[in-house]
């Protein structure tokens, strides 16, 4: 602090001090953001769980409407799913770990499995778990009713 010509002390910061503090804050921010940006956000994880649930509901609706079995096929390592016979592949974000629990007869191999829906709305049941770090969402399919629910 400097004293002015009137003998009173001035309080506050100089422009140079403020610029140095702002520059340091910018540098710290630039160094810390890349550390956290590599992971999947909670919003992306929840969005992926909703997308899988929508695909399961589509398969259930298709089974009821067409009075025939419908299948959602999930590629765990490729992070993708499709509702057969539709060839469109729905991709899920990288960085999400996916686990599929379903009937043994609906496992194609160690990376691809399916959840099957029947014309009465029922299902073989199952669960798709989507996780990123400590956060996870379970998409459950009730075997009796075919009801799809997202659990945190």
pLDDT of res. 118 = 95
Q: Quote the pTM value.
A: 0.74
In a domain, 92, yes or no: yes
**Mean pLDDT throughout 90-112?**
90
Nearest CA among 61, 86, 83 for reference residue 73: 83
In a domain, 143, yes or no: yes
**Count of domains in the chain?**
1
pLDDT of res. 89 = 92
Nearest CA among 118, 121, 123, 129 for reference residue 143: 123
In a domain, 123, yes or no: yes
Q: What is the pLDDT of residues 123-146, one digit of tens each?
A: 999 999 999 888 999 999 999 999
In a domain, 11, yes or no: no
pLDDT of res. 117 = 95
> Residue 115's domain is classified under what CATH number?
3.55.40.10
Quote the domain boundaries for residue 84.
42-151
In a domain, 18, yes or no: no
Gap between the Cα atoms of 136 and 148, Å rounded: 16
């Amino acid at each position: 602090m400097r004293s002015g010509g009137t003998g009173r002390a001035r309080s506050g910061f100089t422009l140079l001090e403020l610029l140095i503090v702002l520059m340091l804050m910018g540098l710290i921010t630039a160094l810390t953001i890349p550390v956290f940006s590599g992971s999947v956000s909670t919003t992306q994880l929840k969005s992926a769980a909703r997308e899988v649930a929508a695909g399961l509901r589509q398969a259930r609706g298709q089974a009821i409407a067409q009075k025939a079995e419908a299948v959602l096929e999930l590629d765990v390592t490729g992070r993708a799913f499709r509702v057969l016979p539709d060839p469109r592949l729905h991709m899920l974000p990288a960085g999400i770990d996916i686990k599929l629990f379903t009937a043994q007869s609906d496992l194609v191999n160690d990376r691809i499995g399916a959840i099957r829906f029947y014309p009465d709305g029922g299902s073989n049941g199952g669960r798709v778990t989507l996780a990123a770090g400590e956060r996870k969402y379970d998409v459950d399919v009730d075997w009796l009713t075919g009801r799809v629910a997202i659990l945190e």
